[in-house]
Amino acid sequence: MHIRLPLIAILSLVARLGFASDLPVEPSGIYKDIDIHLTVDTVKALRDYQGDKQLKVVNSIIAKPGEFAPPALYVLSSVLFEQGRKDDAVFWFYAGQLRARIDANICADRSAAAIVDAMNQKFGPPINQYAFTNLSLLTNTVNRVLAWEADTPCHYDRRWINLHGKNAMTGETNSLLSAPPEQWEAIRTRTLQMGGLVREARAALDEIAAFVQRAHA
């Protein structure tokens, strides 16, 4: 059975920077317990509101970022970039990316990880282009994001990413949603040490450094 899922619909609409006027049908079965309403409502508000109303939403995320799933942080970074707050946009883009990769590694449905690359491709190009022109900013941001990740409790439902996997798309109800909770901290640690933001940022820095060296050779 094919089911319509709120976050899938919201993020596909985010890709077009627009939203439908009504919410889709709630997910069913084991996916019904995944709580994404705060993130969905916040993403919609970020795109729909302007001026002081939008600023209020922005400040609410920054004040309590641990309450929001990574898609809200990605959209926050886009809004901040549009407002000219580019250094802040870089931070929240990489914060969202790091948490999204941790959540993807926790998710038992490996196909769900594709949403991380999709969000990076959607929101990343202008932010990365800006960050890569300032190596000091990029290095400092990576270090700040790692410290933020360590210090910021995760209060959102980390299973949000399951809604983007093949099992959710097909209505599969017999598969595990996530790795056992007692393994989550180890998965988080492995993500920080072996991949995700650190690997990508270091690769980008190495590429830029090599380019600079070639240019001055």
Tell me, yes or no, whether 1 lies in a domain: no
CB-based burial label for 17 (10 Å; 0-12, 13-18, 19+): exposed
pLDDT at position 173 is 76
Tokens of 42: 């916040």
In a domain, 64, yes or no: yes
pLDDT digits (tens, 9 = 90+) for 164-191: 888 888 877 778 899 999 999 999 998 8
Q: What is the pLDDT of residues 145-164, one digit of tens each?
A: 999 999 999 999 999 999 98
Q: Domain for residue 14, yes or no?
A: yes
Which of 210 and 72 is assigned the larger pLDDT?
72
Single out the residue of 100, 211, 216, 118 nearest to residue 162, CA to CA: 100
Q: Tell me if 177 sits within 8 A of 162, measured CB to CB.
A: yes
Confidence at 32, pLDDT banded by 50, 70, 90:
confident
The pTM (predicted TM-score) of the whole model is 0.81
Residue 45 lies in a domain: yes
pLDDT (tens digit per residue) in 110-145: 999 999 999 999 999 999 999 988 888 888 998 899
Interval 44-49 mean pLDDT = 94
Q: What is the pLDDT of residue 152?
A: 96
**Beta strand spans in 82-156 (E):** none
> For the chain, how many structural domains are there in total?
1
Q: What is the DSSP letter of 200?
A: H
Interval 8-19 mean pLDDT: 38
Long-range contacts of 117-121 (CB under 8 A, 24+ apart): 118/11, 118/15, 119/11, 119/70, 119/71, 119/74
Segments forming the whole domain that contains residue 138: 6-215
Question: Across residues 64-71, what is the average pLDDT?
Answer: 97
**Average pLDDT over the chain, rounded to an integer:** 82
What local confidence, expressed as pLDDT, does residue 26 receive? 55
pLDDT number for residue 6: 42
Supply the pLDDT for residue 20. 30
Q: Among candidates 36, 3, 4, which has minimal Cα distance to 20?
A: 4
Cβ count near 147 (within 10 Å): 10
Q: How many residues does the chain have?
A: 217
- Measured distance CA(100)–CA(125) in Å, rounded: 17
> Where do we find the tokens 């976050």?
7
- Listed residue (47, 133, 131) closest to 91, CA to CA: 131
Least confident of 14-18, 60-64, 85-89, 99-103: 14-18
Q: What is the per-residue pLDDT for 161?
A: 93
Q: What is the spatial distance between Cα 81 and Cα 73, in angstroms, rounded to a whole number?
A: 12
Does a structural domain hold residue 48?
yes
